[in-house]
Amino acid sequence: MIAITYARSIAHEASGLHKVAREINDRKRARSGEDFSALAKQYSEDTATKDKNGELPPFARDVPGVPTELSAAAFSMTNNQISDVITLAPGYDIIKLIEKIPAQTVPFAGGDTKAQITDPATGQTATITIRDFLTNEAINAKAPNYFQELKKDGNVEILDADLKTAVSTADAAAMAATTNAPALSQ
């Protein structure tokens, strides 16, 4: 993936347009046969993938954490195809689909059936039982409200401004994770 970020201010509009033009040129270069991973390493501004030759970990359709536009583009492509420019909130992406991995069915043998789960943000894979996965999901869904109630019941007041900001940001992220909404901090 080649990712070019852009600023949403008028002061940066000219440089943003320059980056888009450069990115479109990169796309032409990639389609003409230049090494896509070398172009990604040279031009991408995505720190998570740049040092990995632009490679994203495999992801499933409509998985949380992967932008809808990126997922739609990837799943409409064929192997070794290079996308058109994809416009996302932080900037523009060009992707090359290396391979589509067919979905697999894991035979269910009760709650102790093991499954491999890949975090789309980090690419880390873990083997976990379905029972443990569902338990973690339930805990993650209930924890933010539980901790809010504990703070309220205990009359906890945070006086340090930096800690107050950190807790507010963490609370917003935790609430967003339970609702699949983006976290907004003040």
pLDDT tens track for 82-134? 888 888 777 778 888 888 888 777 677 777 888 777 776 677 788 888 888 88
In this structure, the answer to whether residues 73 and 118 fall within a common structural domain is no
Say if 125 falls within a structural domain: yes
Worst-scoring range by mean pLDDT, 3-12, 35-44, 123-132, 147-156?
Answer: 3-12
In this structure, the answer to whether residues 78 and 50 fall within a common structural domain is yes
Residue 41's CATH number: 3.10.50.40
Q: Does position 33 have pLDDT exceeding 50, yes or no?
A: yes
Say if 164 falls within a structural domain: yes
Round to whole Å and give the CA distance between 91 and 74.
17
In this structure, the answer to whether residues 129 and 85 fall within a common structural domain is no
In this structure, the answer to whether residues 10 and 86 fall within a common structural domain is yes
Q: Please give the tally of structural domains in the chain.
A: 2
In this structure, the answer to whether residues 129 and 158 fall within a common structural domain is yes
Say if 101 falls within a structural domain: no
In this structure, the answer to whether residues 90 and 131 fall within a common structural domain is no
Range of the domain at 139: 114-179
In this structure, the answer to whether residues 43 and 83 fall within a common structural domain is yes
In this structure, the answer to whether residues 64 and 135 fall within a common structural domain is no
Round to whole Å and give the CA distance between 167 and 184.
13
In this structure, the answer to whether residues 89 and 16 fall within a common structural domain is yes
**What is the DSSP secondary-structure string of the chain?**
-EEEE---SGGGHHHHHHHHHHHHHHHHHHHTT--HHHHHHHH---TTTGGGTTPPPP--TT-TTS-HHHHHHHHT--TT-B---EEETTEEEE-B---PPPP--PPP-STT-EEEEE-TTT--EEEEEHHHHHHHHHHHHHHHHHHHHHHHHTT-----HHHHHHHHHHHHHHHHHHHTPPP---
Round to whole Å and give the CA distance between 152 and 40.
49
In this structure, the answer to whether residues 15 and 74 fall within a common structural domain is yes
Interaxial angle between packed helices 36-43 and 13-31, expressed in degrees from 0 to 180 and rounded to the nearest 10: 160
Round to whole Å and give the CA distance between 96 and 2.
9
Number of Cβ atoms within 10 Å of the Cβ of 87: 12
- The amino acid at residue 66 is V
Q: What is the pTM of this model?
A: 0.53
Chain-centre distance of CA 114, in angstroms?
24
Residues 1-31 have pLDDT tens digits of 666 554 443 344 445 555 665 666 666 777 7
Round to whole Å and give the CA distance between 177 and 8.
26
Say if 85 falls within a structural domain: yes
Q: What is the pLDDT of residue 9?
A: 38
Say if 108 falls within a structural domain: no
Say if 184 falls within a structural domain: no
Q: What is the pLDDT of residue 134?
A: 86
Q: Which among 61, 94, 127 is the end of a domain?
A: 94
Of 95, 138, 130, 91, nearest in space to 111 by CA: 130
Say if 122 falls within a structural domain: yes
In this structure, the answer to whether residues 18 and 58 fall within a common structural domain is yes
